[in-house]
Amino acid sequence: MASLISTKTNHFRYASRFLFSHLLRHSTPTSSLLSPSFAHHLSSHHPHQVGNQGYGIGSLMLYQRLLSSTSNQEKKVLDNSSKDDSGQGKKSGGEQEQKSDAGKSVRGSPVSWLSLVFLVLTGAGLVFYYDKQKKRHIEEIQSASVSVKQGPSAGKAAIGGPFELTNHHGKRVTEKDFMGKWTLLYFGFTHCPDICPEELVKLAAAVDKIKEKGGIETVPVFISVDPERDTVEQVAEYVKEFHPKLIGLTGSSDEIKNVARAYRVYYMKTTEEDSDYLVDHSIVIYLMAPDMGFVKFFGKNNDVDSLADGVIKEIKQYKK
């Protein structure tokens, strides 16, 4: 920029010297140089004088152009320098803003830590609450299961009741004849091809094992659900094949119906073909207490050992 100003100054000096030398040579009034309107006045009233001074006026116009171009160039240089200065200022300002922002983020970090601590405390509280609720729920389930196992308020199952039937010796008996003894009852029929024989064999073996392992006497009883074919003689021949203590009971259709209803036993005759039919019935062994009250039933899934162990366990708990 300094070199440009020096160059323009030299041009100004050369132009000034040339102009003054020309004015002195032609004696041109200074007022005509400074006022274009006055030059027009001279040209209209003194054409000869203006014609002689045309060269001087042209020189003056050249000088004015030179001055204007110099001032414009200087103005551009100043504008560019101011732009550079403003750009640098903006840049430095941006850097300062970034630094200040960075400073804010650094200075603002305790707020973020505070938020993090709040979040951790909230999560810990939720976990603690969930764990507490879970433990309480587990305790409720455990207490409920214990109460169900103990079941003192559940009451006694409505199984059993008075009955009157005929034993395999032809004697009329009732439930009172079995009081004072632990009784195992099984409902079936003598013409059963497989299920009844299997269950009676299991029952007979369990009776002996209960006596051997627990020292407990039990009375096995077979009650027919086929009164039409299971006569006293038929039942007598049937029960002696399984155990000498096994007692067989039969009766009329109404008597069998009543005892089956009392012990919640299902039975139904299937399709008949020339008096050869089967009876569909429940496959259950009932354990009855010495007062002929119901204690527990055992299904077909129990083998000899589980049946014997189950009976011994129930009798011991009942005595306690």
192 marked as part of a ligand binding site? yes
In terms of Cα–Cα distance, which of 241, 234, 204, 205 is closest to 221?
Answer: 204
Which CB contacts under 8 angstroms, 24+ apart, belong to 130-135? none
Phi-psi region of 285 (alpha: psi -120 to 50; beta: other; left: phi over 0): beta
The answer to whether 183 and 218 are in contact (CB under 8 A) is yes
Judge whether 203 and 310 are in contact, CB under 8 Å.
Answer: no
Q: Is the dihedral of CA 27, 33, 36, 38 positive or negative?
A: negative
Distance CA 189, CA 238 (A): 9
HSE value, Cβ hemisphere, 13 Å, CA-based, for 279: 22
Is position 45 annotated in a ligand binding site? no
Check whether 11 is labelled as a binding-site residue.
no
> Which residues have C-beta within 8 Å of that of residue 141, sequence separation ≥ 6?
none
How far apart, in whole angstroms, are the C-alpha atoms of residue 96 and residue 268? 100
Q: In terms of Cα–Cα distance, which of 185, 195, 181 is closest to 165?
A: 185
User: Which of 174, 239, 243 shows the shortest CA–CA distance to 210?
Assistant: 243
List residues forming the annotated binding site for Cu cation.
192, 196, 281
List residues forming the annotated binding site.
192, 196, 281
